[in-house]
Structure formats: C-alpha cells, structure tokens
Amino acid sequence: MTSSSNCFFLVSMVVSLLFFLEFTSTMASTKDIYAICNDPSAINKTFCLQTLTAYPPAVSAKNMDELVRVTLDLGTTLAKERAGFVAGLKKEATFKKYFETCNDSYSQVVNYFESARSQIDEKPHGKDGASLIILESSDYTQLVKDTIGKNTDKTSKRLMEMTLVMEDFIHIAFAAINYY
C-alpha cells in the first residue's frame, strides 16, 4: 500500500469507529428507556415509552444515570407547566374556591421534583431519599384530584387531565430512580 492509501484506510477506520460509538451510545439509551418502562412501577409502559422517546434529552442520554437525571428534569418541567396553568386561574371566579389548594399543591410537586433531582447525587442514601420524595409528591396530585375531581366545568376538567398525566409521570420517575 502507498502511504496515501494507508492514510485513507486509517481515516475510514476512525470515521467508522466514531459512527459505531455514536450508534452504540444511541442504542444504550433506547435500551435504558425500555428498562425503565418495563419496570412494573412505571405502570403504563406505552405512556412511558411515548413520553421518554419524545423527549430529546432522554433519547440522547449517554448512560442510565444521565437518563434518570433528565427524567427527573422532565418531571420538574411538567410540574411547572401545571403550576403555570393554575397561576393563570387566579382571577377565574369559578375557580376561586380551589385556587389556593391547587396552586400550593403544584408548587409542592415542583419542589419535590427539584429536591429529588438534587438528592440523587448524594451518597449513600440519596437514591432512597429521592424515591421517598417522589412518592410524597403524589400526595399533592391526589389533593388536586380530591379538590377538583368532581367538578364539571371545563377548567377543572382540563386541570384534572393534566393531573392524571402528572400522576402517570410520577410513576415513571419512581421507576427510573431504581435504575440510578
């Protein structure tokens, strides 16, 4: 071989290796998403797969630890969206009775997700702490359900739907922490 074909060979090897690494790291994340979603505590596997595969940071997570962290971040984002929705209801007359409970509840859910996320890196019991915190957050989604679940107005129904999704996501987060 001439030195230029040697060089070409070397460059193609490096390029293939990079593609291979890229490919395997993508595969690792898909495998990890399946591991979490197949866990019985994730409860709704279909919802879990749909949610995590639609979230780019989860799909591009390099390993399981990163996937767990971004899953908790997604929980914070979902909780903040709901807190924002509730904040927008402050002036709605029909919602007045429910506002304070729902507003407090969702700010608690945001806090719980943020603190689970910061607990997780703490050794040696951060993982247990994070699991407990995520479990406790479901007391607050339950409180929202108890507060507005029987209402028939459009706003309550919308918040109820959002709360059921939040609750499903809490199961995913709980399952994910087991794999950290």
Ligand X SMILES: *[C@@H]1O[C@H](CO)[C@@H](O)[C@H](O)[C@H]1NC(C)=O
Q: Which residues bind ligand X (CB under 6 A)?
A: 44, 46-47, 50, 87, 90, 103-104, 107
Q: Classify burial at 134, counting beta carbons within 10 Å of its beta carbon; exposed 0-12, middle 13-18, buried 19 or more.
A: buried
| Shortest separation between residue 86's beta carbon and ligand X, angstroms | 8
Three-state SS for 46?
helix
| Shortest separation between residue 44's beta carbon and ligand X, angstroms | 4
Q: Classify burial at 10, counting beta carbons within 10 Å of its beta carbon; exposed 0-12, middle 13-18, buried 19 or more.
A: exposed
Nearer to ligand X, 37 or 70 (CB): 37
Contact 39, 175 (CB under 8 A): yes
Nearer to ligand X, 128 or 161 (CB): 161
| Residue whose beta carbon is closest to ligand X | 47
How big is the CA angle at 160 (ends 156 and 163), to the nearest 5 degrees? 140
| Shortest separation between residue 155's beta carbon and ligand X, angstroms | 15
Nearer to ligand X, 21 or 54 (CB): 54
| Shortest separation between residue 43's beta carbon and ligand X, angstroms | 8
Nearer to ligand X, 6 or 94 (CB): 94
Nearest by Cα to 134 from 91, 82, 175: 175
In terms of DSSP H, where are the helices of 54-125? 56-59, 64-87, 96-119
Nearer to ligand X, 84 or 118 (CB): 84
| Shortest separation between residue 21's beta carbon and ligand X, angstroms | 33
Nearer to ligand X, 47 or 179 (CB): 47
Residue 47 structure tokens: 């919802």
| Shortest separation between residue 113's beta carbon and ligand X, angstroms | 15
Rounded-to-integer distance, Cα 37 and Cα 174, Å: 11
